[in-house]
Structure 1
Amino acid sequence: MKRVIVGLSGGVDSSVAAYLLKEQGYEVIGLFMKNWHDDSVTISNECPWLDDSNDAMLVAEKLGIPFQTVDLSEQYKERIVDYMFNEYEKGRTPNPDVLCNREIKFDVFMKIALDLGADYVATGHYCRKGIISEGGKETYQLLAGVDNNKDQSYFLCQLSQEQLAKALFPIGELTKPEVREIANEIGLVTADKKDSQGLCFIGKVKLPDFLQQQLKPKEGVIVEIPKEQDIYKEAVPEFETEEDKLRFLSRKINYNIEQGKVVGKHDGAHYFTKGQRKGLAVGGTVEPLFVIDTDVNENIIYTGQGKSHPGLLKKALFVSNDELHWIREDLALKVDDTLQVAARIRYRQPLEKATLYKVDSGLYIEFENYQSAITEGQFVAWYINEELLGSGVIS
């Protein structure tokens, strides 16, 4: 019997994952990760970790598997929370869920599991693992979950071959309704529990409150840039090389106050992110205002009216070499290589046709269609068919 340690989060997905593994004849152990102590920033009773660990324990009891809690709050603070504050301070928008999987679940947690004699670590993610065996060597694939509506492969876009080798995703072949049905049939306490919202493991957090713990409020102005601004009418130059063209398409526009008008005030540019609509509290515009850029040095938020404002739309982005990651290392591009893929720049986004271009300093991704709010610090992930091949941090 192979031993599997399941990250029991107290939700229905990991509960059913543990049940399925037990049915398949594995020796299953449930482990709850406690990653946060500070209840002052969670919204009251909206899934504090105590309820979750209790539910996880009841599930383990019901399934007749051993259960214990591990406290990873120190590593979580260091690797996720501090990183988040740091990124927001620089005016970038991090994705804590992607990092949590790379740094906590499939690193710190995985090491603990392997020390406990586990052969595998399993989670309740909606994705699948494929194995290609060639010449005595196994290559692992990260495949989308069968449930299109719940596919979570994007959140695992930073995993390595070593991590995938030891990972199992028991519910990847199921849809969410099927998972709930199984949980109901076997009488799990988590069967009808709502999906958790908010930061991975911290529970439902008010992000501004959370950021304000470390990033001090600082009053600044909100500037509206009109669609007709000359900066958007820049003539497209003649390009000598493909790389020049991509550099132009992915360039960042540098805004200044003179290009628009002051329409309001805010408490700190570092609390806002590109594409954001909520929280601006500016009325009286024909179309709603969206954040098109933030300047954390000058503490200015630049906005534009409507979803199709040219300040929101771009066709290309760049990932530098040090933030470029291939799950399929065997398919990594060499300089001057190109690859047709489907890509997404955020979790819920439908896949979009794109081309990868490898250059000396990193990787350009050019989309067939304009993308809205390409945001520095977020992850772009690229796929061929159902397989996620690699990812990178948008620079």
Structure 2
Amino acid sequence: MKRVVVGLSGGVDSSVAAYLLQQQGYEVIGLFMKNWHDDSVTISNECPWLEDSNDALLVAEKLGIPFQTVDLSEEYKEKIVDYMFNEYEKGRTPNPDVLCNREIKFDVFMKIALSLGADYVATGHYCRKSETTVNGETIYQLKAGADVNKDQSYFLCQLSQEQLAKSLFPIGELTKPEVREIAAEMELVTAEKKDSQGLCFIGKVRLPEFLQQKLQPKEGKIVQIDKDDAVYAVAEDTGVTVLDKLRQNATKINYTPEMGKVVGQHQGAHYFTIGQRKGLNVGGTKDPLFIIGTNVDTNTIYTGLSSQHPGLFRKGLFIENSEVHWVRSDMALANGETTELMVRIRYRQPLQKATLHQYEDGMYIAFDEPQSAITEGQFAAWYLDDELIGSGVIS
């Protein structure tokens, strides 16, 4: 019997994952990760870890599997929370869920599981794993979950072949309603439990208050830029190299206050992100205002009217070489190579047609259609059909 450690989170997905593995004849151990101590910034009782660990314990008891809790809050603080503060301080928007999978679940947690003699680690992610052979070598494939509405492959976009080799995703072929049905049939306490929202393992967090622990509020101006501003005029492409054009499309506009009019005040540019609409508290506009740029050095936020404002859209992005990651290293592009793939720049975004260009300094992604709210610090992930083959941090 192969031994599997399941990351029991206290939710329905990991509960059913444990049950299915047990049905398949694995020896299953449930392990709950405690990653957070500070309740002062979580929204009351939205996702307290105590309730989750109790639910995980009840599921383990119901299934008759061994259960224990591991406290990873120090590692979580160092690898995820501190990273978040640093990124927000630089005016970037990190994705803690992607990092949490790379650094905690499939690294720190996986090492603990393997030290317990586990052959595999399993989670309740909606994604699938399969195998193929390239030049006589086994290659692991990370594929989208069968439930299109719940596919979570994006959150695993930074996993390596070594991590995938030891991973199992038992619910990847199921839909959410099917998972709930199994949980109800088994009378698992988590069957009707709402999906957790917010930060991986912390729960719902009031982001400004969370960030205020480290990043002090400071008043700055909100500037509105007109959609017809000269900065959006499209230059002629004559005599421009492919690389110049890619760079131009991937470079964000450097706004200055003189370009627009001041429409309000904010409490710190580092609390805001491109594409954000809520939290500006500026009234009296006929369309909603969207954030089209932030500058943490001058502590200024730039906004535009409506979701169709040209300042929200860009045709390309750039990923520094050190941040380019291939899940399928056998498919990595060499310097000077290009390939057409499907790309998404945020979770649940429909896949977009794009061309990847690998250069010495990094990778440029050129989209067929302009994309809204390309955001520094977020992950772009690229797919071939339903297989996620690589990703990188937007710079």
The answer to whether the 8 Å contact 1:11/1:52 transfers is yes
Pairing of 1:71-150 with structure 2 (within 5 A): 71-150=71-150
CA contact (8 A) 1:35 1:72 kept: yes
Q: Mean alpha-carbon deviation: is it higher for 375-384 or for 335-344?
A: 335-344
Q: Secondary structure at the match of 2:311?
A: coil
Q: How many angstroms apart in 2 are the aligned matches of 1:218 and 1:237?
A: 42
Map Cα deviations across residues 210-250 of structure 1 (whole Å, 9 max, x no partner): 01111110000100000011111142342442111101111
Partner Cα distance (1:133, 1:165) in 2: 13
Secondary structure of the residue aligned to 1:111 is helix
Q: How far, CA to CA, are the matches of 2:209 and 2:149 in structure 1? A: 30
- Contact 1:14 1:124 (C-alpha < 8 Å) held by counterparts: yes
What is the aligned partner in structure 2 of residue 336 from structure 1?
336
Could you say which residue in structure 1 is the equivalent of 2:345? 345
Q: CA deviation at 1:44?
A: 1.0
| Inter-partner Cα distance in structure 1 for 2:239 and 2:90 | 32
TM-score, normalised to structure 1, is: 0.99
Q: Does 1:177 align with 2:177?
A: yes
Q: Which residue of 2 aligns with 1:381?
A: 381
Assess, with a 3 A threshold, how the Cα gap between structure 1 residues 339 and 135 changes in structure 2: closer, same or farther: closer
Measured against aligned partners, the alpha-carbon deviations of 1:109-138 in whole angstroms (never above 9, x if no partner) come to 000000010000000000000101345421
Report the Cα distance in structure 1 between the residues aligned to 2:255 and 2:311, rounded to whole angstroms: 10
Partner deviation per Cα, 1:281-339 (whole Å, 9 max, x = no partner)? 00111210000010000000000001111110011000010111000000000111111
Residue 64 of structure 1 is matched in structure 2 by 64
Amino acid across the alignment from 1:219: E
**Matched AA of 2:217:** P
State whether structure 2 residue 157 is matched by structure 1 residue 157: yes
Matched, 1:10 2:41: no
Alignment of 1:228-267 (within 5 A): 228-267=228-267
2:49 is the alignment partner of 1:49: yes
C-alpha distance in structure 2 between counterparts of 1:12 and 1:333, whole Å: 39
Q: Distance in 1 between matches of 2:262 and 2:363?
A: 37
Task: Give 1:287's aligned residue.
Answer: 287
Kept in 2, the 8 Å contact 1:239–1:245? The answer is no
CA shift digits 1:79-107 (9 cap, x unpaired): 00000000000000000000000000000
AA at the equivalent of 2:190? T
1:168 paired with 2:155, answer no
Tell me the distance in 1 between the aligned counterparts of 2:204 and 2:237. 48
Deviations 1:14-62 (A, max 9, x none): 0000000000000000000000000111111112000000000000000
Q: Distance in 2 between matches of 1:57 and 1:238?
A: 66
Distance 1:248 1:229 in 2: 18
Task: Tell which deviates more after alignment, 352-361 or 131-140.
Answer: 131-140
Contact 1:93 1:378 in 2 (8 A): yes
TM-score (norm 2): 0.99
Matched AA of 1:26: Y
> Residue 28 of structure 1 contacts residue 65 of structure 1 at CA under 8 Å; is this kept in 2?
yes
The 8 Å contact of residues 9 and 33 in structure 1, kept in 2 or not, is answered as yes
Question: Identity across aligned pairs (percent)?
Answer: 74
Q: Once superposed, what is the RMSD of the aligned Cα atoms?
A: 0.8
CA distance in 1: counterparts of 2:143 and 2:224, whole angstroms: 42
